[in-house]
């Protein structure tokens, strides 16, 4: 759903494992929930035969269509929401720093001893049959466990035992099984030319937050300077998270006061196809069929996907009806600034961010946020959490 972008954006960075950008802005990913008002959950939208009618309306345009025949919205007077305390606690900041440090964790590389059986090595190899490279026989910076029974042909992984991780070239011969599965390689003796770059340690190392780490990965001179800037950054993100949670609560109230009179059929079908395509992509990724994915991973059916799609359409109907009623019309400058904010929140320049989200999606999200702010201004009572 288009307005769901607000939620997706907020999920990207707050209370997340963070990674470096060139300017020291942090990016990452989290499972925090905030933002835009969720779509109706599977099974909670109107069931077939009991809900609003579905009407055919090809090329549906929310901006120009008469939405009064599709949706009815009760008075928005009397809305009330609570805004969480936005103050960033020391514990929250410490957790954020820990998550950032974990994102820089690594397995040390050992180069001062020979490879022992069971070690994982970082190596290059090139395979030759009768002096000519063969398909699938070459790799760089490959992790290989130096012992038998690890999936390689007999003698291959074992040949790395005793080698020094110094990048020096060495070679050895091995023979493919008769039933290997390749007419070219079945039963053939081949030569591998290899280099071992390092032995990869088995214990993950999480770096410490010290001056050396800060100067190596960020544009700060010391830990004190980093903490000052980073805490301001995390506080900024928490403010957005808190506002997003408030917007979500308010939007749910608006949806509850809204009734769909009839659905634009072609729009429901379009959204359903988009949603189904996403689930089919995941099904392909997990190598299961579409129905199995829905039932096993999500506990829903294809009919739920269609009803979920109606929920998305309902949100758009309600949003654009409210936009028209309240006369919300962001300027081009406001659209641009809003889109730049989303990009900044995700640690990107706008042009880069547009590679992930289309401009139409971003503009719709900016429009939605301006609508929510206007509804709060006109109709809602906001209570600050913890206020006397």
> Residue 348 is encoded by which pair of tokens?
């990107």
Domain range annotation of the chain = 5-102+218-384, 109-200
Residue pointed to by tokens 């069931």: 47
Look up the pTM and report it: 0.69
CB 314 within 8 A of CB 51: no
Q: Are 153 and 185 in contact (CB under 8 A)?
A: no
> Of all helices (H) and strands (E), which one includes residue 43?
none
Q: Which residues of 2-29 are buried (b: 16+ CB within 10 A; e: fewer)?
A: bbbbbbbbbbbbbbbbbebeeebbbbbe
- Which residue in 362, 376, 330 sits closest to 6, CA to CA? 362
**Distance of alpha carbon 238 from its chain centroid, rounded?**
18
CA dist., res. 100 & res. 21, Å (int): 12
H or E element: which one contains 220?
Answer: none
Cα angle 15, 17, 19 (rounded to 5 degrees) comes to 125
Instruction: Give just the sign of the alpha carbon dihedral 274, 276, 282, 285.
Output: negative
Specify the CATH number of the domain 109-200: 3.10.50.40
Cβ 279 vs Cβ 86: under 8 Å: no
Going residue by residue through the chain (388 aa), what tens digit of pLDDT does each one get?
334 444 344 334 333 333 333 333 333 322 232 333 333 322 223 322 334 555 544 568 999 999 999 999 999 999 999 999 999 999 999 999 999 999 999 999 999 999 999 999 999 999 999 999 999 899 999 999 999 988 899 999 999 999 999 999 999 999 999 998 899 999 999 999 999 999 999 999 999 999 999 999 999 999 999 999 999 999 999 999 999 999 999 999 999 999 999 999 999 999 999 999 999 999 999 999 999 999 999 999 999 999 999 999 999 999 999 999 999 999 999 999 999 999 988 889 999 999 988 899 999 999 999 999 999 999 999 999 866 5
């Amino acid at each position: 759903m288009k307005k769901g972008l607000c939620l997706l954006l907020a999920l990207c960075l707050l209370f997340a494992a963070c990674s470096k950008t060139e300017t020291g802005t942090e990016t990452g990913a989290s499972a925090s929930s905030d933002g835009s008002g969720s779509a109706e959950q599977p099974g909670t939208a109107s069931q077939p035969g009991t809900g609003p009618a579905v009407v055919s309306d090809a090329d549906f345009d929310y901006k120009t269509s008469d939405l009064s025949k599709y949706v009815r919205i009760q008075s928005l007077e009397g809305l009330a929401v609570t805004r969480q305390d936005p103050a960033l606690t020391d514990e929250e900041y410490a957790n954020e720093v820990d998550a950032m440090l974990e994102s820089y964790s690594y397995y040390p590389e050992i180069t001062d001893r020979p490879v022992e059986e069971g070690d994982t090595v970082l190596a290059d190899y090139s395979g030759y049959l009768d002096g000519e490279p063969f398909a699938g026989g070459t790799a760089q910076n490959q992790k290989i466990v130096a012992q038998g029974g690890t999936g390689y042909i007999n003698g291959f992984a074992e040949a790395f035992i005793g080698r020094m991780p110094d990048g020096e070239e060495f070679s050895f011969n091995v023979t493919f099984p008769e039933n290997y599965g390749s007419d070219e390689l079945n039963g053939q003796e081949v030569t591998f030319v290899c280099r071992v770059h390092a032995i990869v340690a088995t214990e993950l190392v999480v770096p410490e937050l010290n001056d050396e780490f800060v100067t190596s990965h960020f544009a700060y001179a010391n830990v004190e300077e980093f903490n000052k800037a980073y805490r301001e950054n995390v506080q900024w993100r928490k403010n957005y998270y808190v506002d997003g949670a408030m917007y979500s609560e308010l939007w749910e109230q608006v949806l509850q006061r809204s009734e769909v009179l009839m659905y634009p059929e072609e729009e429901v079908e379009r959204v359903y196809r988009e949603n189904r395509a996403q689930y089919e992509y995941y099904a392909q990724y997990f190598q299961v069929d579409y129905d199995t994915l829905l039932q096993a991973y999500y506990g829903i059916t294809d009919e739920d996907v269609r009803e979920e799609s109606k929920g998305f359409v309902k949100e758009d109907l309600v949003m654009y009806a409210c936009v028209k009623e309240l006369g919300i019309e962001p300027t081009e400058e406001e659209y641009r600034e809003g889109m730049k904010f989303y990009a900044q929140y995700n640690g990107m320049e706008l042009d880069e961010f547009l590679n992930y989200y289309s401009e139409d999606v971003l503009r719709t999200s900016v429009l939605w946020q301006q609508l929510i702010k206007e509804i709060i201004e006109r109709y809602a009572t906001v209570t600050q959490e913890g206020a006397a």
